[in-house]
Structure 1
Amino acid sequence: MSANDADHATVTGSTERETATAVSEAEGPIVDLSGVTFGYTATPVVEDVSLAVESGEYVAVVGPNGSGKSTMLRCVNRLAEAQEGSITLDGEEVLSPDTDVDELRREVGMVFQSFNLFAHLSAVGNVALGPRRVLDLSEDEARERAANQLERVGLADQLDSYPAELSGGQQQRVGIARALAMEPKLMLFDEPTSALDPELIGEVLEVMRSLVDEGMTMLVVTHEMSFARAVADEVVFLDDGRVVERGPPEQLFERPENERTGRFLERIASHD
């Protein structure tokens, strides 16, 4: 992303995001993690993580590979079961044994590193599947909703294309449309560009930027530092399963307070 693109991303949609921020201050966070810990063995992968995402915010989570970022994200919709702490979605405890996990995952859309599309279904078929089976929409209603979401991500001309006929960037945009079709309160992105060729990354980031401008609440694990710096409301640096530092992007990227954060950013910059 060029400097001009970054400036444009910061300015575009400012009115919508200011409105969303005003609403969030009145309503509280959409998702709130407090003291979340998860481990496969005695050694935690995620340890005592606390963070919150207000309505309409884009919070970016950055850090080295193996730092627990993806696992933390999966705890939010219980693809990984946190062993300690609290997670609330719109004020409701996610980790309660009474939580309807299927309903939780309807309200929390997730976009994965791999596209996970059904090869035997067209783009519109992949997107319509959830609304039809989970939301009990009719086939016509589900297809209409799917077509609208594919248009939203710039794929109105690929409704009947199969995954094998689409580029990696197009497949990931189908994945985004699939999550959006469930009309979630929160979108989780787990390094959505990591499996893409460099020349295809921009089209996915453009869709994500449009969601930011629309006021979608987003928690994003990413290595796209320029994009996070341009559009995030807050950046969280995770290392060894713990939150090391957090703050506005201009502060964390330009004036990190923790030495470990600074070393990480220097290493990333040296590879740009």
Structure 2
Amino acid sequence: MDTPRAAANPVPPLSACIIAFNEADRIGDCLASLAFCDEIVVVDSYSTDATVEIARAAGARVLQRPFDGFRSQKQYAIEQAAHDWVLCLDADERVDERLRTAIEAERERAFDGAAGYRFARLSEYFGRFLRHGNAYPDRVLRLFDRRRGGWRGQREVHEAASVDGAVRTLPGDLIHYPYRSLEQQLAKTERYARMMAEHDYARGKRATLAKLVLAPAWRFWRGYLLRGGFLDGWHGLVYAYVRANYVRQKTVMLWMLQNGQRVTTSDS
């Protein structure tokens, strides 16, 4: 008699893990795209808007924790999950249909032979999805077995998950809505630049005059020309310029730190 498929190759349960802060306008669509998961865990940094209420109404298990870094917050989220296979998203991301189908197909095979999966992230930028330059495919490892990896390392910004074992690439996109306005993007970019400069300085990295002059220019021309950012029209131009400015800010802040200067005021 044939052994039932479910007994021979059980489908692993899957937890979705999200970190959030004041995402009432975006978290609903994120949660809706994760309806195929067995559990959704939201770690909230004490939002002052309706983020928590929206998440609970959608069936998520909401935990609140003071924010002490993106990596730490995401690692905490996967540690609270009920299941070992986890899918990690930010509140401004959604799983598209093609990616969902690919994830479910791998899950039906019990994620056979893989420790994790990466997939492309497609970012919307002021009315247009960027499909060229440094913006795409921007592949990220977000689906993995937490027993074999996680949000490791010391860097709290531009954090990345890693696993011990095989990593496969799935078709489909993680749809990303990163900015509500240009003002928000510029503020976010400056914050990330400061965090990266402080991280690099603490670990002995130093800026040079050549990096001050050349690194921002290289970031712009690599993304805009060599990787075809110009194909995204004026959106690609603005994106490439702002990303180059991020490199400039990060390098200038590192330069200031290594010369004994502060990069923030006491109340910032």
Q: TM-score range by the shorter chain?
A: under 0.3
TM-score (norm 1): 0.24
TM-score (norm 2): 0.24
**Which has the bigger relative contact order, CA under 8 A and spacing at least 6?**
1
Q: Say which one has the larger Rg.
A: 2
